[in-house]
Amino acid sequence: MTQTPSSTHVQRIAAAARAVAGDPIIIAIDGRSGSGKTSLAGVVAAALRDATVVHLDDIYPGWDGLAATPPLLVAQVLEAARRGEAAAFRRFDWERGTFTDSVAVPRTSYLIVEGVGSSVGMARRYADVRVWLEAEPAIRKSRGLARDGDAYAPHWQRWADQEDAVFGTDHTAEHAHLVLRTDG
């Protein structure tokens, strides 16, 4: 069932997950570029209070790295978080085209991972709550280009093709606990 986005929905699922899972509750907010993942993650994190947000934009290994990201996310963040240990990931510098500094992931009650591919394949096993966001392609593109401007424009279709490939074989939306429309 597709619904209008609300952090209340995610909070309710997180509360239900809390009843059966330990710290941290891992929430994956997934969907195509421009669907509103970062915005929803911020709202949910503020509502849950004791939450950390990991943005996959900091982990993707470049414009052709979408398929490589879920294993990086698992190895650097999710495995340690699931064990209740401190986690860290190497940040990707988009201008230099290489990984740079290490970013610590604080231990909190909720770990929100947002980004394209955050609940794909092996990463899905770690997510206690999986949210999929949907929006019309033209609206998503408008949002994405407004957010990232000229830096993203030449790569929009290249990234969209990777989304088609990854989500097409993984059927990611079908594994979501909650599907939300973000285009009104």
Residue 125, domain CATH:
3.40.50.300
Q: What three-state secondary structure class fits 141?
A: helix
pLDDT at 1: 40
Q: Which residues contact 150 (CB under 8 A, 6 or more apart)?
A: none
pLDDT at 6: 65
> Quick check: is 8 in a domain?
yes
pLDDT at 5: 53
Total domain count for the chain?
Answer: 1
Residue 62, Ramachandran bin (φ over 0: left; ψ between -120 and 50: alpha; else beta): left
8 A C-beta contact, residue 30 and residue 37:
yes
Divide the 184 residues of the chain into consecutive groups of 10 and give the mean pLDDT of each group: 59 71 88 94 89 97 96 97 93 95 95 98 95 94 85 88 97 94 86
> Quick check: is 72 in a domain?
no
Report the amino acid identity of residue 95: E
Residue 77 DSSP code: I
> Quick check: is 153 in a domain?
yes
Supply the pTM of this predicted model. Answer: 0.92
> Quick check: is 93 in a domain?
no
